[in-house]
Structure 1
């Protein structure tokens, strides 16, 4: 555990610090262990964009690429082999954290192919494949919170697989995600699975909400321009705080208490997309303004370093904010900014972005395989 005041204060307030990045270079250089030791990192998240950047560094992967080319591996199999090895190795690095926290932290995520976001059955099949391939107790399989992803979440949890639900933007969809998780736990228990080993986080995206809402606020002119200006930079935090309110409600119901009595662990809210995109805002705001017990904040290293350097942690910054947060969303609606329209657009863009990164990743790996085969 770090002795840095801000990062220690986060942990003391019940926030688990996860790193939103992974690469072969981080693993082989010992950097991942270093950020665990010096920056209080207790988990790792990955996504197609992160792997696309990591694998574009051909140097670190050249030996494995040569072997895959020699084995005549298909492109999809090659990408799966490369990403799953990184995740497996990261799981091994974080295993002591996993054991010390009784499975709460020390988790590493790997995402199903984003091209399957609208295919329930193939998402379930790949989740099982990734579970078997990585074969580590501290793995989380990432499934997007699309309409088709919801039944996949239930089926995968029912199989006893721990899940990171990703790309959550709206409160309604978040409630559906929590329901899918609880239904999966109930089915797992009914099938005789050990539900004490099933973990889950729900990745609620933050900064992208402000990016889209602020763009719409900037377009408002005339008599409402001043009111619009005052709402800039407020939507994302309000949305996340109301998500925490929903989490508190769902995980205090008799339905949950019944599962908890049999050893189930709650699905923790995870704040994702926490890098600040507008330089006008404090670079730590999606961390310092979302402090509450039982949460995870996954940060790009730049954000983590900013918190370490000048983050001011003032205790729980979510409790007591629900009325004010609701008013922010109501005020946006009054200005003609539709919450449901914004969140639906962000989900579509999120899936598209990950698909594009995956296509770039495939193209990059294919080029390396071709080069190695010559």
Structure 2
């Protein structure tokens, strides 16, 4: 057993758990992860909730009550998911207080079917913030084209945001711009910028999965040599872009007004290819002021045998750029890949949400049977 998680925290990486369920909360497991594994935050998404609600009996009592009331399936899902996020936020509240609001946060995502509708996304973000009613909540908004102005408007209203589904460096720069614009509007409205926080969730493993598939199809020695390099290179260059933004005059003015940096968050950090170390997207993406949200398997693997070697991002930018440029030389379009991944990401979350609605509807109908 190593103390890799403690070392990771000491290097300035906030460790968040990419999972939530009612059983995890009620059993005390979430509290144990905070106490023993240096976890300081939680992220959720439609896939996580679909697995949680369909995977046990922990929701039966609430489902029975909802069925008795005859609520719509959309309302039922929102009541169930916001209850879990509210309870998890209460568990994490001491971390939130101890870190002055930086960590101890739980993320909940807007309905993914709204990903291409700006006004509806803002309305949903406001509703979720009201329903959960905890200061240590992040509302997750996908970084689609329609999501960018929604991010600005939500931040401008003083609601803290976790921007999700970021794959491309250009889109990440647009996200950082949207955040700063939102802060400027919030300041103009007289809001206290110290109370507004944000993270930008840059997805990692899916980049390797898609690009490696294309490299394997090429099958040349040049292509094979590039396997497993794109995702880390992409994330490292994202951190470089972040450093450039926070060193700029625009950010310095916001910082003087009390604004908090929008931390880069490494998401999708579970390794999909067994040929790679299972801690690859943790140990190779260590830098201060970042967040790494991990599935529990990745968290345990890092705890067990992760080798944290200090900062593994700064000083790597030239090689990272060379690795991405090499993809173009073998005929793989970076722009095409990241757009495909964004489109697929929205589709996957929509599919998970629809599956959640279907399974919840079936439970409501089952539990409503025989009732007055």
TM-score by length of 2: 0.98
Q: Is the 8 A contact 2:204 2:281 kept in 1?
A: yes
The counterpart of 1:158, out of the listed 148, 156, 161, is 156
Structure 1 match to 2:272: 277
- Residue 58 of structure 1 deviates from its aligned partner by 4.2
- Residue 4 of structure 1 deviates from its aligned partner by 5.5
Structure 1 match to 2:213: 215
Structure 1 match to 2:303: 308
1:158-197 mapped onto 2 (5 Å cutoff)? 158-197=156-195
Q: Is the 8 A contact 2:17 2:294 kept in 1?
A: yes
Structure 2 match to 1:329: 324
Structure 2 match to 1:261: 256
Q: Distance between the aligned counterparts of 1:299 and 1:58, measured in 2?
A: 22
The counterpart of 2:224, out of the listed 216, 224, 229, is 229
SS at match of 1:320: coil
Structure 2 match to 1:84: 82
The counterpart of 1:366, out of the listed 346, 361, 370, is 361
Q: Give per-residue Cα distances to partners, 1:46-102, cap 9 Å, x unaligned.
A: 000000000002400000001111111111000000000000000000000000000
1:1-374 mapped onto 2 (5 Å cutoff)? 5-221=3-219, 225-374=220-369
Q: Is the 8 A contact 1:58 1:368 kept in 2?
A: no
- Residue 5 of structure 1 deviates from its aligned partner by 1.4
Two-structure CA RMSD over aligned residues (Å): 0.8
Q: Give per-residue Cα distances to partners, 1:109-128, cap 9 Å, x unaligned.
A: 00000000000000000000
Q: Give per-residue Cα distances to partners, 1:332-372, cap 9 Å, x unaligned.
A: 00111000000000001100000000010000100110011
Provide structure 2 residue ranges, at least 5 long, that are not aligned to the other structure: none
SS at match of 1:219: helix
Q: Which runs of 4+ in 1 moved over 6 A?
A: none
SS at match of 1:336: coil
Q: Distance between the aligned counterparts of 1:179 and 1:371, measured in 2?
A: 48
SS at match of 1:59: coil
Q: Distance between the aligned counterparts of 2:249 and 2:5, measured in 1?
A: 35
- Residue 213 of structure 1 deviates from its aligned partner by 0.3
Q: Is the 8 A contact 2:155 2:186 kept in 1?
A: yes
Q: Distance between the aligned counterparts of 1:262 and 1:235, measured in 2?
A: 37
Provide structure 1 residue ranges, at least 5 long, that are not aligned to the other structure: none
SS at match of 2:116: coil
SS at match of 1:282: coil
Q: Is the 8 A contact 1:141 1:162 kept in 2?
A: yes
- Residue 195 of structure 1 deviates from its aligned partner by 1.0
SS at match of 1:42: strand
Mean CA deviation greater in 49-58 or 198-207: 49-58
SS at match of 2:36: helix
Q: Is the 8 A contact 1:4 1:39 kept in 2?
A: no
Q: Is the 8 A contact 1:218 1:229 kept in 2?
A: yes
